[in-house]
Structure 1
Amino acid sequence: MAPSGPPRLAPLPSPQWVIDLNNLPTRPKPTGTTPDPPGFSHSPHKTKPGSKPTPAPTPIETDELFLKKAWELALAPAKSIPMNAIMMYMSGNTLQIFSIMMTAMLFMNPLKALSSVGATFARFENERTRGRLWVVKMAYVGLQVATIVLGVWKVNGMGLLPTTRSDWLAWERERQPLEYSAAAFQ
């Protein structure tokens, strides 16, 4: 009985470049003629013969590292303040969609950061660092407030803050004259 359906074709042989890529020669591993950089060990479990294993960090060293990383995180907004100031200056004081969006972001991002200060620094907080971490948090809050002040400066430059007497005319009472003068007409 003859098979039904189309005849099966033999697979095409792979091109030479595919065969070359699949059969790359293995590169011999370096024999260790180049020394490791200072402070680097190739394997954390093995030490070189004749060298002392590095001791585990003490809790005090770990806390110092936590505080150092917390300071880096707290001072990060200071790096963006000059960039934001230049962008606010360059966007001009006219009411355009670009300057309005930039100013809105200048208020929204610090407010979001201020609402999550505890969560931001929670990974650095333990019973030993809690007493020293409040200074770091206050620096973070201060830099976020400085960014908000930059936004207030921009809003004032755009003329959106009510800083003049004419901005409050709706609440002004009509002046009542204290005396009248009438001229006699003949």
Structure 2
Amino acid sequence: MEKGKGVMGSGGRRWAVDLSDNSTSRDIPDPPGFSRASLDQDDSTLSRQKKDAESNWKAQKAWEVAQAPLKNLLMMGFMMWMAGSTVHLFSIGITFSALWQPISALQSVGKIFEPYKDNKVELLGPKLLFIALNLGGLALGVWKLNALGLLPTHTSDWVSSLPPAQEVEFSGGGVNLG
């Protein structure tokens, strides 16, 4: 069976085109604005430009990731304000969430910035900003704990562990002889 011929009886397929024939060379001019010189540009220049663009993109994304806790900090502050200053389940849940999120983020700083690691990308600045913002979130949570009265910051919170006060004076009643 010939290429391009179908099984459809004696006539075959009239619409079949054989594209495997490369024997004829066609001189088709390049379209306007197309230059073969741009295709022949040095591959090392293109790969260097591509690597520079990728490094710039990684640096930009690292800074975006580093600034992300600021949005979380503002939202958490608003939620704490809305929860009020009375001790109830909602305010305690919000406060412990405000403490847990920065702690877990600080534990995974290396994993968070791993995709942006590159020889040309400096990650120290973004990491320091990320850590500082998360420490700010942690401080906000500790402040809320103190505002709720859940931190033992007064002497009365530690009364059970204090020794009894020494008696400085003793007075007694009068003597009744009669």
TM-score w.r.t. the length of structure 2 is 0.68
- Alpha carbons of 1:135 and 1:185: their partners in 2 closer, same or farther (altered >3 Å)? same
- Give ranges in structure 2 of 5+ residues lacking alignment: 1-30, 40-45
Shift of 1:71: 0.2
Aligned residue for 1:161, secondary structure, equals coil
Deviates more, 1:66-75 or 1:49-58: 49-58
- Alpha carbons of 1:182 and 1:153: their partners in 2 closer, same or farther (altered >3 Å)? same
Shift of 1:185: 2.7
Q: In 2, Cα distance between the equivalents of 1:98 and 1:183?
A: 55
Q: In 1, Cα distance between the equivalents of 2:131 and 2:34?
A: 46
Shift of 1:104: 1.7
- Give ranges in structure 1 of 5+ residues lacking alignment: 1-47
TM-score w.r.t. the length of structure 1 is 0.65
The CA RMSD measured in Å over matched residues stands at 2.3
Partner of 2:60: 68
Structure 1 residue 95 and structure 2 residue 87: aligned? yes
Alignment of 1:143-182 (within 5 A): 143-182=133-172
Q: Which has the larger radius of gyration?
A: 2
Of all paired residues, the percent bearing the same amino acid is 34
Q: In 2, Cα distance between the equivalents of 1:107 and 1:51?
A: 59
Q: In 2, Cα distance between the equivalents of 1:100 and 1:154?
A: 9
- Alpha carbons of 1:74 and 1:49: their partners in 2 closer, same or farther (altered >3 Å)? farther
Deviations 1:5-32 (A, max 9, x none): xxxxxxxxxxxxxxxxxxxxxxxxxxxx
